[in-house]
Amino acid sequence: MKQYSLIVKLILGIIIGLLVGLYAGNWAATKWLLYVVVFCKSIFKDLIQFFLPLIMISFVSVGIAEMGQKAGKLLKFTVSISYVYTIIACALGAIVILTFFGLFPSIADVAMGDIKAQKLPPNIVNIKIPFPLAPSLITSIVLGFVLGIGMTWTKADALMKILRDIRDISGMMIQKVIIPIIPIYIGSVFAQIAYKGDIWPKMKVLGIMLVIIVVLQWIWLFIQYSAAGIYTKQNTYPAIITMIPAYFTAFGTTSSAVSMPVSLARGKLINGMKEHIANFVFPLCSQTHLSGAAMTITISAITVSMLTVNAAPGLISLILFILILGVIEVGAVGVPGGSIMAAWPVLVGVLGFQEQAMGLMFALFLIQDSFGTAANITGDASIAMIVNKKFGDLAEESVEPAARGEAPA
């Protein structure tokens, strides 16, 4: 049950937050809980925002440089498919959810409601955690792209090592510090929403979105395998059946890295799959192919925008968000919740999300995280089939050195 501990803690945090927001203000003996909510929300928000520029600069720069510097057609081809699939999945999710709200605009209107919001008490322990130099997230995004492109052109190995170390440290802090406090932060955000009195319409919409996300992930899987079938000129649907055990393994572990051995073993059973191609593609895609998670983030972002400001993000902002998200997801850390944590700077910097919006984003994403991870892992086989068709005749000894030296850890 350890793999479900984050989801369980998140649900408990939401329930406790709802109870505090709904009832703590009703009695003088429990009003102090509202001050605790305000303090926790403030201090944890500052702590999370402290890491955002580090995450943005290191993840974007290293992601771009690694895609540009890695030698070998096989490696570049595989990573490129992962990126293109991620972009297409995000675009598909955006089109579907925008169409949904276009057909049913009353859902967002009901969620917004016409409620006179109550104000939480002020923060009496006003502690701030400023980031040194305090770069804006847009500045961090631009700097990440500049450093990534620059390292690709100049082969700046020393700078690459530093930024890789920063990325690894940021990933460790996400896993050891940020993720453990997320349930408390989300609970405080939901307490604020509940105290304002507009929680239940929003929860109803989030439930509808959860169903749409899971259905759309399966539709995306069939699209991926259909594309692989067209390219390879073979029936790929038996491959989906072969990968079902990998799907449920990923669903249970919520980790692409932990599920990879199962996906590799099942992938080798696909008709015509060369073993050396499978040994290369599946470990690589477990780190670079996160189209299911990226689609979920896109759908969730548009939904939360409708719930909080009653408007979808602008077209230019949405396109920029998807393109940057694709780069970040290719290098997202392999821990439960890592995808949404890595996307946090883009949500704040590009789409302008505030704390309430981020609380809803985390809740919607993490509750379905098992489905997203399963979609990522199961889709890896469709990429492997395409790579196998194009490079299957490549000598085994010419594949393995690239896998050993250049595949992401």
Dihedral-angle region of residue 310 (phi above 0 means left; psi in -120 to 50 means alpha; beta otherwise):
left
Q: What is the C-alpha to C-alpha distance for residues 92 and 94, in angstroms, rounded to an integer?
A: 5
pLDDT digits (tens, 9 = 90+) for 259-298: 788 888 888 888 888 888 888 888 888 777 888 888 888 9
**Mean pLDDT throughout 86-105?**
90
For residue 72, what pLDDT is reported? 64
Q: What is the C-alpha to C-alpha distance for residues 210 and 365, in angstroms, rounded to an integer?
A: 9
Q: What is the C-alpha to C-alpha distance for residues 76 and 79, in angstroms, rounded to an integer?
A: 5
pLDDT confidence tier of residue 120, bands split at 50, 70 and 90 = low
pLDDT digits (tens, 9 = 90+) for 344-367: 778 887 888 877 788 778 777 777
For residue 333, what pLDDT is reported? 47
**CATH topology assigned to domain 2-406:** Proton glutamate symport protein (1.10.3860)
* Lowest-pLDDT range of 65-74, 77-86, 151-160, 392-401: 392-401
**Mean pLDDT throughout 102-116?**
62
pLDDT confidence tier of residue 85, bands split at 50, 70 and 90 = very high
Looking at the predicted structure, is the pLDDT value of residue 130 above 60? no
Q: What is the mean pLDDT of the chain?
A: 76
Contacts of 175 (CB under 8 A, 6+ apart): 333, 335, 338
**Mean pLDDT throughout 97-117?**
68
For residue 115, what pLDDT is reported? 41
Extents of the domains making up the chain = 2-406
Looking at the predicted structure, is the pLDDT value of residue 134 above 70? no
pLDDT confidence tier of residue 92, bands split at 50, 70 and 90 = very high
pLDDT confidence tier of residue 402, bands split at 50, 70 and 90 = very low
**Mean pLDDT throughout 173-197?**
76
pLDDT digits (tens, 9 = 90+) for 34-61: 777 777 777 777 777 777 777 777 777 7
Find out whether 289 and 221 touch, Cβ atoms under 8 Å. no
For residue 203, what pLDDT is reported? 73
**Mean pLDDT throughout 224-234?**
90
Looking at the predicted structure, is the pLDDT value of residue 396 above 60? no
pLDDT confidence tier of residue 323, bands split at 50, 70 and 90 = confident
For residue 383, what pLDDT is reported? 93
Q: What is the C-alpha to C-alpha distance for residues 197 and 108, in angstroms, rounded to an integer?
A: 16
Instruction: Give the CA count within 13 Å in the CB-facing half-sphere of 374.
Output: 21
Over pLDDT 90: what percentage of the chain? 9
